[in-house]
Structure 1
Amino acid sequence: MKEVDAIKDHDTIKLISYLLERQCGEQMRDVWEIGLNLALRISDLLAIRFSDIEGDTLRIQECKTGKQARIVLNAKTRERIAAIRAAHPLHVYLFQSYRSQGAANRPPRPLTRRAVTKAFMLVGEELKLDLGTHSMRKTRGYWLYQQCKDLGRVMRMLRHQSEAVTLRYIGISQQQVDQDFLQLEI
């Protein structure tokens, strides 16, 4: 699997949203925008059921680690979820598959990781970016780090155990850390 990057430019983040909607539909745009705000692995993001959301809080058990995650939803995320729920009141999953053949004749299922990967790769190719399903999580971590410069806080959000993993994950090199030390004089 090819390594993907955090998106380090706000205009590019917005352009990805626009292109996903234009080329793949509103649902893929919602996956991108909600995924950016939740910083979950794609398996956890696609597995979200409306029953996992209580008011402004999402509670899930992470597939990979088995850890419980409690995430307070920001206003943008709550608005997108409310719009999805209003458009699809009978759906079980936040990102439920409903357009494929036979979807009406089988139990509810979420979108597949494969479908999301395909959509993201399509947009990534157009923008000449290594865009993948993990780009959402990495982007959220990168922007939180840029805002607070608190690696421990980013580690907690991503539920990582190692600073080295988090630094590599969000695309912060030792050279950038060194530059931070040079620029900040007390």
Structure 2
Amino acid sequence: MEFVEPIRDRKKIESMKKILQGNDRDYLLFVLGINTAYRISDLLELKYKDVIDEKKKVLSHVKLKESKTDKNNKVAITKGVAKAITNFVEKNYKANLEDYLFIGKKNPNKPIRRETAWRIISTAAEEVGLKNIGTHTLRKTFAYHQYKAGTDIAILMDMLNHSSETITLKYIGITQDEKDRAVRALDL
């Protein structure tokens, strides 16, 4: 498996959103992915009941049991994600909360495959000039921007279910250059 990077440039994120806005499913997949700590395998298993109630009201949190760790994970739904869910539900919901969110054309009873998700993300990334991008980029992008926004590394470790700060820093791509800039900026 090839090593993928987070999307560090917010302008590139916005450009990818614009590209993906033409397809509600793909846009929601991207927006949910970059705003949660979920792996693609968990995102693809989401059902309507995980994001809306029986009155089609967006839930405050997504709650799921992660397939890799078997741990329960609860993530708040942001305003931007709620808007994307609302738009998606208005156009796609068929009154069954047990239906998967991210279905394909070939089999409407199953979620799209990981390879399809990869194609969606990598094609949009290529259009904006990004390399080393894949489905795991979504989770890494979330973590990277949480860290840059000042989220404590211990909280981020917990969100990602990592066992050490070193693993988390490496995971989000904090490079030696960034460490050097931080030290030089302090210059006491």
Bin of the TM-score, shorter chain as denominator length: 0.7 to 0.9
Contact kept, 8 Å, 1:81 with 1:94, in 2: the verdict is no
Give 1:93's aligned residue: 100
1:178 Cα offset (Å): 4.1
Match of 2:134 among 112, 129, 132: 132
Runs of 4+ in 1 over 6 A off after TM superposition: none
Give 1:109's aligned residue: 110
Contact kept, 8 Å, 1:142 with 1:171, in 2: the verdict is yes
How many pairs are equivalent?
178
1:128 Cα offset (Å): 4.1
Contact kept, 8 Å, 1:17 with 1:29, in 2: the verdict is yes
Larger helix percent = 1
Give 1:84's aligned residue: 88
* Unmatched segments (≥5 aa) in structure 1: none
- The DSSP-based 3-state class of the residue aligned with 2:149 is helix
Give 1:45's aligned residue: 43
Give the alignment's TM-score, normalised by structure 2.
0.85
RMSD: 2.0
Deviations 1:132-182 (A, max 9, x none): 101111111111111106211221222211212111111102442343234
1:26 is matched by which residue type in structure 2? D
Query: Among the aligned pairs, what percent are the same residue?
Result: 29
1:121 Cα offset (Å): 2.3
Give 2:60's aligned residue: 56
Specify whether residues 140 and 5 from structure 1 end up closer, same or farther in structure 2 by C-alpha distance, changes over 3 A only. Answer: same
1:185 Cα offset (Å): 5.8
* Unmatched segments (≥5 aa) in structure 2: 54-58
Deviations 1:72-108 (A, max 9, x none): 11111112112222212225122222x22xx35xxx2
Q: Which sits farther off after the overlay, 145-154 or 72-81?
A: 145-154
Specify whether residues 68 and 5 from structure 1 end up closer, same or farther in structure 2 by C-alpha distance, changes over 3 A only. Answer: same
In structure 1, C-alpha distance between the alignment counterparts of 2:21 and 2:83, rounded to whole Å: 17
Give the alignment's TM-score, normalised by structure 1.
0.85
Match of 2:155 among 153, 156, 160: 153
1:158 is matched by which residue type in structure 2? L
